[in-house]
Chain A
Amino acid sequence: MTASPILETIGLEKTFPGVKALRKVDFRLFPGEIHTLMGQNGAGKSTLINVLTGVHAPDAGEILLGGKPVEFSTPLEAEAAGIRTLYQEVNLCPNLSVAENVFAGRQPKRRGAIDWRLIHARAEAALAELNVSLDVTKSLDTYPIAVQQMVAIARALSVDARVLILDEPTSSLDDGEVTRLFDVLRKLKQSGIGILFVTHFLEQTYAVSDRITVMRNGEREGEYLAQDLPVELLVSKMVGHERMTERLKRAATEPPAQKAAVPPFVELRGVGRRGLMNPVDIDVQPGQILGLAGLLGSGRTETARLMFGAERADAGTVTIGGRPAKLHSPRDAVRHGVGYCPEDRKKEGIVADLSIRENIILALQARRGWWRPLGRARERQIADDYIARLGIKARDAEQPIGLLSGGNQQKVLLARWLATEPKMLILDEPTRGIDVAAKFEIMDRVLALCAKGLGILFISSEVSEVVRVSHRIAVLRDRRKVAEVAGNAASEDQVYRLIAGGSE
C-alpha cells in the first residue's frame, strides 16, 4: 500500500460507566477503499464510529485525519473536517423536498433570498453524480427508502467529503436497492474518498469490501484484506472463544442426558410470516435445551416471537402438548405454559416503576385474571421465595425493579415466569449486558430447571454459550433455518461454518 491512511486512530480508549468500550484501538482507513467494520453487538463498533464522528470524546489515544492530529468535540466539527456520516435510519426531513434536504442549512442565496433555481440545479447535479435522476422538487417521503438513502449520500457529499461513514445503511433496503447503493459506493471510491462501512451482513461485506477490520470486546481483533479472509474465519474471529468457568465446564463435559424419544412439547411446522421470517420447523422437547444459533438478523428473535404469539404467524401449524394450538397473542402462549424473557430487557421485559414483588407476580396474576387477586401476603411470600432462591440482590421486595442491576433484573424476569410454573421458557439473550458472575449464575439456574423437565428455547449470539448448554442446535441464516445438529456432537467450528453458509 503506497498511500498513507486518510483516517487513522492510535491507541484509542473509551470507558463508559461499568464498561470498557474501546481498548487501545488502532484503526486505519485508506483513501479510495471500502473498509468494513465487523463485530458482534457490544464489540465496540458504534463507540468507535461515535468517537470518529465527534459524538463521544476518547479518553485516550489519537485521531489522525490526513496525517494531522484532530480533536472533535461535536459532530459538527467532524463534519466540517470532512468526515460525513450516514446512519441506519435516514436522518432527513421527510416533508421537505429532495433539493431542500440536500441543501438544508446551507442554501445558496442571491440578494438575501434563497436561490431556488440554483438549489434545484445543484441538487439534480449532485444526484446525477450518483446515477440517480428524480424530481428534486417533490417531497422526500414520496420516494422509497433506498432513494432517500441516496439523497442522504448526496447531502453528505455536497460538501467536500474526505471520509464517508455508513452505519448499517442497508438494514432497511431490499436486494436490488443494496446493489444500487454498492454501485454508488464503488463509484465514490474511485474519487479517492475513504469509505467506512458497518454491517452485520456477511455477503454484503464480501460483495463490496476491500479491507475488513474485526472488533471484539472493545478491541481490534485484526485487520485483513477481504480476499485473504475466508468467511468461516471471519465469523469465528467475531464470535471469539470464551474462557469457561469450572461450573459450566462440568456441564459441558457431561454428556447431555440421553432421553428416550419424548414427544416434543412445542412443534412448529412451516411457521413463518411474510417479511419477518421464512417458514421454519422447530421442536422443543421437555427437559431439553434447543439452542438457536445465528448472526444478528438471522431470524433468532423473530422465531422466538412467533413461537410466543408476540408476532402472528401467517403460515404453518403449531402443536403444543400434542394438540393443535393457535397463537394469536402472547396470552395464548402463556395459557399453554410458555414463558418468554425478551431480548430487550428494558423495553419489553421489566416494568420499571413497579416493585420487584409486582414484577414477579405480574405474569401469574395475568393468568389468574383481575378478579382473583393473589393478595398482598401471598404476593410477598412468592416474591421473597424467589428472591432467596435465585439470589436476587435487593434491599427488599418493594424496591422498584428499575433500580436493580441488569443481572438482577434478569433474575426477576426469570422469577416472573417460574412463578407461573411454565412447561417451557423462551430465553432470548438472557445473559446480554450482564457481568460474568451473574451470567454463569443464570445459566446454572437454566440448566437446573431443564433437568427438572422444563423445555427451553435458548438464544444467544455467543456461539460458545449455545454449544455449551444446548442439547440440540438449530442454525439460522438469512431468516431461514439452515441446519439442526445435536448439541453434544457439534463443535463450535462446525456451528461457525453453518452460520457462515458452509456445508456440514
Chain B
Amino acid sequence: MTRIRTALQHSLLWPCVTLVALVLLDLAHNPAFLSVTMLDGHLFGAPIDILNRAAPLVLVSLGMTLVIATRGIDISVGAVVAIAGAAAATILADDPSRVGLALMAALAVGVLAGMWNGLLVAFVGMQPIIATLILMVAGRGVAQLLTGGQIIPIGAPGYLMVGGGYLASIPCSVWVATGALALTALLMNRTALGLFIRAIGVNPVATRLVGLRSNALVFGVYTFSGLTAALAGVLISSNVRSADGNNAGLLLELDAILAVTLGGTSLLGGRFSLAGTVVGALIIQTLTYTTYSIGVPPEATLVVKAAVVLVVSVIQSATARAWLMRQLRRGLPFAAKKTVSEAAR
C-alpha cells in the first residue's frame, strides 16, 4: 500500500501519465505508431522522429530548468538560438571548411549572451523577466545584423551532420541532447550544485547567510542557459540548413517554460526535476506530432495544443486535484473506501 502511495505522490507520475495517454491516442489512430524500422543503417519511425525534433527543445529546457529553480526565468533563449545559428552561418558562408570554428563561435556567442543575462540578474539585481526581455528583443536584432537581414543557407557537410546526420543508427541531435542531459544530471547530482541551486530557489537570503556566493551561482546558471540555447541553435540551423535571424527559435522560450512546468518544476523555484523537464519536452513534441497525424486542420493546431496543455496543467495542480477528489468522493460510492486510507495518512 505504502509503495503505491509513494508512487502516486511521485512528481514524475502525472507527466508520465500524460505522455503515455498521448502515445495511446496515437496508437489508437495508427497501430504502427511505435514501430521503428532500420533503413540504410538508420532508424526510422515516429518515436525516432519525435525524439529528433524534440532535441533542441530538450536542450533549451535543461538550461531553463536550472534558471527557474533559482526563482528566475530566461525568455531570451529563442533569440540566443537565432544568434548562435547566425554566428555559425556567417563563418561557414566565408569558408565552409571551418566547421570547428563555426561550432565554437556559436557556443561562445551563447555563453556571452548568458553571461550578459547573468550579469544583469545576479550583479545588477534586475528582475529576471525584464533582464532577459532585453536580450529577447535586442538578440533578434543582433542575429539579423549578423545575417544582414537575409536567410543564410548552410552547405558545409560537417556542420549539417550535427543536426541532420546519424551516429550508430541514431540521429546526432538525439546524441547531443542525451549527452547534455547526462552531463547536467551528473553536475547536479554528483556535485553540490544541485543542492545550492535548490537552496537559492527556496530561500535566497538564508543561502547568502550560510556563506554561499549566491550571485556567482545565479550568474553561472544563466550562462549555462545561454550555452544550452546556443547548442539548440546549432541543431536547428544545421537541421534546416540555414540561419534565419527572424524566425529561428521563435517562441521557443515559451515552449521551454511550458516543458519545465509540465515536468513538475515550480515557477516559484526550489525543487526541480531534469527528468520531468525531458518528459515535458517530449509531451510538447508528441502533442505537435499527434495533432498533425490525427488530422487536426493546421489552423486549429494551436487551439488543440492549448486545450491539452490547459487540461494537463489543471490535473497537475494539487489544488485542482484535491477539489476533483472531493467531488468524486461526494458523488461516487467507491470513494468511501478511499477516505479511510486518506485518514490513515
Contacts and interface: CB of A to CB of B under 8 A. Distances in A.
Interface string A354-374: 100010001101111111111
Contacts of A242: none
B36 interface: no
A366 B205 contact: no
A348 B205 contact: yes
B319 interface: no
Contact of A365 (B195, B202, B205): B195
Contact of B211 (A335, A354, A370): A335
Interface residues of A, number: 32
A21 to B, nearest CB: 27
Given A331-B211, A331-B213, A358-B199, A350 B192 contact: no
Interface in B151-181: none
A330 interface: yes
Interface string B295-337: 0000000000000000000000000000000000000000000
Contacts of B190: 373
Given A354-B198, A369-B192, 16 more contacts: A330-B208, A331-B213, A342-B206, A342-B209, A348-B206, A348-B209, A349-B206, A351-B198, A351-B202, A352-B203, A354-B199, A362-B212, A370-B193, A371-B191, A373-B192, A416-B210
B211 A333 contact: yes
A329 interface: yes
B196 interface: yes
Contacts of B206: 342, 347-351
Interface of B: 190-193, 195-196, 198-199, 202-203, 205-213, 217, 270-271
Interface class of chain B by DSSP: helix
Given A370-B193, A373-B190, A373-B191, A330 B205 contact: no
A370 B199 contact: no
Contacts of A363: 210-211
A195 to B, nearest CB: 37
Contacts of A368: 192
B210 A330 contact: yes
A368 B196 CA distance: 12
A373 B210 CA distance: 16
Kindly list the 10 A-B residue pairs having the minimum CB-CB distance in the complex, ordered from nearest: A334-B211, A363-B210, A331-B211, A366-B212, A370-B192, A351-B203, A373-B192, A353-B202, A366-B211, A351-B202
Contacts, number: 80
Contact of A370 (B191, B203, B209, B270): B191
B218 to A, nearest CB: 13
A189 B235 CA distance: 76
Contacts of A347: 203, 205-206
A352 B199 contact: no
A352 B210 contact: no
Between B193, B199, B210, the greatest number of chain A beta carbons within 10 A of the residue's beta carbon is seen for: B210
8 contacts: A329-B211, A348-B209, A349-B209, A351-B199, A354-B198, A362-B212, A366-B196, A366-B211
Interface in A369-389: 369-374
Interface in A319-337: 329-331, 333-335
B201 to A, nearest CB: 8
A340 interface: yes
A404 interface: no
A353 B190 CA distance: 20
A145 interface: no
Nearest to A342: B209
Nearest to A375: B190
B210 A329 contact: no
Nearest to A358: B195
Given A348-B206, A351-B202, A353-B270, A362 B195 contact: yes
Contacts of B270: 353
Interface in A262-310: 308, 310
Contacts of A351: 198-199, 202-203, 206-207
A368 B191 CA distance: 11
Contacts of A349: 206, 209
A329 B208 contact: yes
A410 to B, nearest CB: 13
B211 A367 contact: yes
A208 B191 CA distance: 60
B210 A362 contact: yes
Contacts of B198: 351, 353-354, 358
Nearest to B271: A353
